Amino acid sequence: MYTKKAFFFIFLIFITNTMYDLAYGQANDRTGNEAPRIINIVNFIRQTDYRVQDADSLLFETVRKQIQLVNQYQFPATFLFQYDALINPKYQTLMKSQLRENCEIGAWWEITQPHVEAAGIKWRGEHAWVSHANIAFTTGYSPEEREKLVDVYMEKFKEIYGQYPKSVGSWFIDSHTLAYMYDKYGIIASCNCKDQVGTDGYTLWGGYWNQAYYPSKLNAYMPAQSKMSQIPVPIFRMLGSDPIYQYDTGLGDSRQGVISLEPVYQESGKNKKWVEYFLESVVNQPCLAFSYAQAGQENSFTWDGMEAGLTMQFPLFDSLSKAGKIRIETLASSAAWFKARFDMTPATAVTTIDDVRDEGRKSVWFNSRYYRTNLLWEKESFRFRDIHLFDEEFESSYLRKAGTGNQFFYYALPIVDGFNWSTKEDRAGLRIVKIGSGGRKVSLSLKDPTVTEKEKNVLEVSTRDEAGNIFTIIFHEDRFEVNCKPKEKGFNWILELHTAVSANLPFQSITRKQVKAEFRNFSYSLNCNKGSIQQGAETNEAVFQIMPAAHQIVLDCTNP
């Protein structure tokens, strides 16, 4: 009798814990540590913009309205100032008289004429602020000039607000400047632009997708793999990219459009259906360490442009916050939590199972300090749309000298690049291919993915084909594996990389256990720990194929 009771009690505990995992497992990892869902409201402030008529007054009024809206909901928010707005007494009075104590004031690192001249440097722009990368960003200045620009800004900020800023954001800040800000002035947080190709002349492609990372001392776009080589300032990715659609927008063109949480965009941040779809991914889906999105807007878009979007988004944030589903906090608060929790860049995920366009697409992003990858289910197809490796020794072109021209370029190390290696008609990707009778190959259509947080830094994706063959893809920090549990007798499969014929590929050699590549004069490799690799035959347009061993492939992403 005692044995039966004990068994029943253990069974009851098992059922209870299982139900708890099902109900709350999406918000917590398997170790029981909370995986918070974080929203930063970041508004960045220019004094003037030559593209906007009556810019000075309209931009000031925009910030005043943003403060009123933030105060209405009592949200913590971060306001980042360019130097020209920082030194303007009107903005100083506004901040000191109307901004609540739970908000933060920091630096927005676009370079303006008054900033440059205060540092004793000659201004090269035709207006007091321009968007050209070699003028508006520190990539266009020598390392010595960058330090002068930092010193001038920091001393002026302290003169006005009594302390140095904790947060410094920009579309991009070079690693020399970021490290100098940390070493001399103790900043704790930074943020940079989402991944994009050519938008406004800025290309950032292949990096840690969303969330936050510790950058390499040699390259602020590249996550570091070791404590010794990292700048201990987490960089949060801005703007809230669409996890499915941003990647391919503008494919075949020289620049991408924008599908993001920014409240000025009619089809995304201003569209309630899109915002709810985006927040479903942020709030309710598996994310590993934490989930993150940046809300807010630069004041150059003016209040008329952003009012409808912001006033639609804020009640949604408020409801989620009151329900305990998200944390709304300043950028500095998020960075302090990040630094207390992680001594190196954690693994994170962005899971999007519902398609805002109701066309059956699903997407899973995985990031670690070694690599990023993206899985895409699209109508009748499935592929690894993206795999980029990270290496802290991949030095930025702008680390030691000023860049020239009105664009800048930051990249990671491509293994699969579904944007740059595709055309509109021919999409690149690493696909699971069935080998049929006579060697006939068929790309498998997979469906019904289940995403599970197996451990603190391990994400598992299970999916199956029409015949019931089950594929399990497991992402670890340093590697990923593809496993198959076949249902069909004699089932054979491979991974196969296909690209458009016109793609400019980095691969130098392909051997049984390794793919060697070179990108921007930097050598790197992908190693096959289980399975084997062979170069694709010219007739079938496959770049390479990876054959499983006992229905398993394991790929090492550490660039050993």
Q: What is the DSSP string of 428-484?
A: -EEEEEEE-GGG-EEE---EEEEEEEEETTEEEEEEE-TT--EEEEEE-SSEEEEEE
Task: State the CB neighbour count (10 A cutoff) for residue 361.
Answer: 18
Contact between 376 and 382 (Cβ < 8 Å)? yes
Q: Whose CA is closest to 238, among 208, 271, 273?
A: 208
Rounded CA-CA distance 92/98 in Å is: 10
Predicted model pTM: 0.91
Residue 215 has which token pair? 């950058």
Q: pLDDT by residue for the chain (560 residues), tens digit each? A: 334 444 433 343 333 333 333 333 333 333 234 799 999 999 999 999 989 989 899 999 999 999 999 999 999 999 999 999 999 999 999 999 999 999 999 999 999 999 999 999 999 989 998 988 899 999 999 999 999 999 999 999 999 999 999 999 999 999 999 999 999 999 999 999 999 998 888 899 999 999 999 999 999 999 999 999 999 999 999 999 999 999 999 888 878 899 999 999 999 999 999 999 999 999 999 999 999 999 999 999 999 999 999 999 999 999 999 999 999 999 999 999 999 999 999 999 999 999 999 999 999 999 999 999 999 999 878 999 999 999 999 999 999 999 888 889 999 999 999 999 999 999 999 999 999 877 788 899 999 999 999 999 999 999 999 999 999 999 999 999 999 999 988 899 999 999 998 899 999 999 999 999 999 999 999 999 999 999 876 545 689 999 999 999 999 999 87
Tell me phi and psi for residue 157, to 5 degrees.
Answer: -60, -45
Domain ranges of the chain: 37-342, 371-386+401-556
**Apex 283 CA angle, 281 and 287, nearest 5:** 70
Pick the CATH number of 37-342 from 3.60.21.10, 1.10.3210.10, 3.40.250.10, 3.20.20.510: 3.20.20.510
Rounded CA-CA distance 101/77 in Å is: 10
